[in-house]
Amino acid sequence: MSITANRIKELRKQKKLTQSELAEKINASRMAIANYETDRNNPSYAMLSLIADALDTTVEYLQGKTDNALKTPVADDNGDENEPLTPNQRHIAYSIDPDVSDEEREDIIKMVQLAMKHRRRI
């Protein structure tokens, strides 16, 4: 069986979806899903894209071009909570008033994470 067929079936089962449920999500027939999973038919790129979205993965993963099933890229060092803070992150962290409320602290953290995500300076 092809890697695409295996991965569609594997992810569908991980998501606890039946073939019928997956078919309904992508507006296809259960038989179409069965044929993709048994390698009788190959889905078009458009269909593969719908399947990937329904299974919360990427077309590249389903095609075997990557082993990362996650839809979003793997976090870089700045996204890992266990990594030490960079000098800029330390500056921001140490400049926060120690009397700030938990809610305000969470808002500040979200703002910094958003800025880092978009690589903007704050």
**Mean pLDDT, rounded, for 3-26:** 95
39-72 pLDDT, tens per residue?
999 999 999 999 999 999 999 999 999 888 887 6
My answer on whether 22 and 47 are in the same domain is: yes
Helix axes 3-14, 30-37, angle to 10 degrees: 120
Mean pLDDT of 70-90: 59
C-beta separation of 117 from 110 below 8 A:
no
Give the model's confidence band at 90: pLDDT under 50 very low, under 70 low, under 90 confident, else very high: low
Residue 70 falls inside a structural domain: no
CATH number of domain containing 38: 1.10.260.40
| Per-residue pLDDT band at 7 (split at 50, 70, 90) | very high
Question: Quick one: 25 and 47 in the same domain?
Answer: yes
**One domain, residues 38 and 86:** no
Q: Say if 28 falls within a structural domain.
A: yes
* Domain of 35, in residue numbers: 3-63
Cβ(58)–Cβ(52) below 8 Å? yes
Quick check: 120 pLDDT over 60? no
Percentages helix, strand, coil for the chain (3-state, rounded to 5) are 60, 0, 40
| 93 in a structural domain | yes
User: In this structure, are 40 and 89 located in the same domain?
Assistant: no
- Say which range, 13-22, 27-36, 102-111, has the weakest mean pLDDT: 102-111
Count up the domains in the chain and report the number.
2
Asked if 54 and 25 touch (Cβ cutoff 8 Å), the reply is yes
Q: Is residue 32 part of a domain?
A: yes
Those residues with Cβ within 8 angstroms of residue 77's Cβ, 6 or more apart along the chain or in another chain: 83
Kindly tell me if the per-residue pLDDT of 77 is higher than 50: no
